[in-house]
Amino acid sequence: MAVIQDLPPETLYRIFELLEEAYAWYRILSTAKPNLCAVSLVAPTWTAWAQQLMLADIELEYRNDQKLLGHLQRRETRPLVQRLELRSLRPERVATFVLICQLVGGLETSRLESKAHEDDEVAVERLYPKVLVELNLKRPEIDGQLSGSRPSPLPHSLALEHLELSAEYFPSFSILRPLLLATHNLTSLTLSYLIGDQQRLGRDDRDAWLQVAPRLRHLHLCCPPEPRSLATITAGGDNLFLDAFLPACTSLVSFEIHLLSFENLFPRLALLTVQLRVLVTSFGVGPFNDRIPRRRIRRNFLHPPLSELKRWRMMMSVEAGREQEKEEFLEMWTELCEEFGVEARGEERYFTG
């Protein structure tokens, strides 16, 4: 302990980060994640004010949120916490989460995760006022099925800069509309849904999405495999949600998309009207067939979305026995990237866009 106490705070936190990365693929074993309780063991030896305001990630699990709350209430200073992760969205745990957030400083990101075995959907009547409005978070991540009746309008002063929504089904557009209309600073959006929804997109809801789209600089979509995955019909015709939304994203710099098949990539890119700088693509099935020849991929480098591309990261799964085909495809893709002056990146863990 004496040795640990002598380490500069930034070194200690770097050790925590490296331990977390080592366990990243084994979340169930990831007990090395930096948390305030662990840091508090050595914090009493830190005297400088800057040392009291250390960045920390806290993962609130069932067994430690009350313990952490008690610890925070006994502290004389408010520690600076960068990220809070709550593994349950039951009302009583959300209430504890809000109390914890009020006792720390610097919080920008919170991850709220609703576990499927709890049969606990994310009720917007609880989520919007209690978390998004009261805490005024900049980067919330909500992993759970949004549900509930159409909420009341939200204040037009939310601090949201990044919003991440993940669930099995695409939520009701009417549920999301008040949130979209209140996010004037939103520049980054992640939508991750496994199954598209056939519900109608009314004119008011459509206008809310199109109001957000031009401000986005970073967009991440995890879509179902069908070319028209979010098959949501507008009230005015047969245009689908992405057909209207993607062309309206006129300020995009980086675009990340996950599809089941490589074949669906270029139809998606064709919807964009911007010249991307960074593209990240991942696929559940590798593009190993004769229907996507080299000349077709090459031709798409000349289209506007890729004409000014600086970096492309490609990730994909591969069936057993087809590793050689994957390597051959990636070699061809890398050659094309070099031809057009694009930095080709693979599945390296350390990547910055």
Task: Decide the pairing of beta strands 343-345 and 139-143.
Answer: unpaired
The separation between CA 345 and the C-alpha centre of its own chain, rounded to angstroms, equals 20
pLDDT higher than 80, residue 124 = no
pLDDT of residue 335: 92
Q: In the beta sheet, which residues pair with residue 234?
A: 201
Kindly state the DSSP code that residue 212 receives in the 8-state scheme: H
pLDDT of residue 306: 94
Measured CA to CA in angstroms, residue 133 lies from 66, 153, 160 at distances of: 23, 11, 10
Average pLDDT for the chain: 73
Q: What is the pLDDT of residues 65-114, one digit of tens each?
A: 777 777 778 777 677 676 777 777 777 777 888 888 888 776 767 777 76
pLDDT of residue 307: 92
Contact 144, 120 (CB under 8 A): yes
Measured CA to CA in angstroms, residue 83 lies from 36, 225, 229, 274, 294 at distances of: 11, 32, 32, 32, 43
Q: What's the token pair of residue 281?
A: 């693509």
Domain boundaries, the chain: 276-353
Predicted TM-score of the model (pTM): 0.77
Q: What is the pLDDT of residues 304-335, one digit of tens each?
A: 999 999 999 988 877 777 778 888 888 889 99
Average confidence (pLDDT) over 227-248: 58
Task: Decide the pairing of beta strands 162-169 and 188-195.
Answer: parallel
pLDDT of residue 217: 97
pLDDT higher than 80, residue 130 = no
pLDDT of residue 154: 78
User: For residues 277-309, b (16+ Cβ closer than 10 Å) or e, as one string?
Assistant: ebbbbebebbbbeeebeeeebeebbeeebbeeb
Compute the Cα dihedral for 341, 346, 350, 353 and give only its sign.
Answer: positive
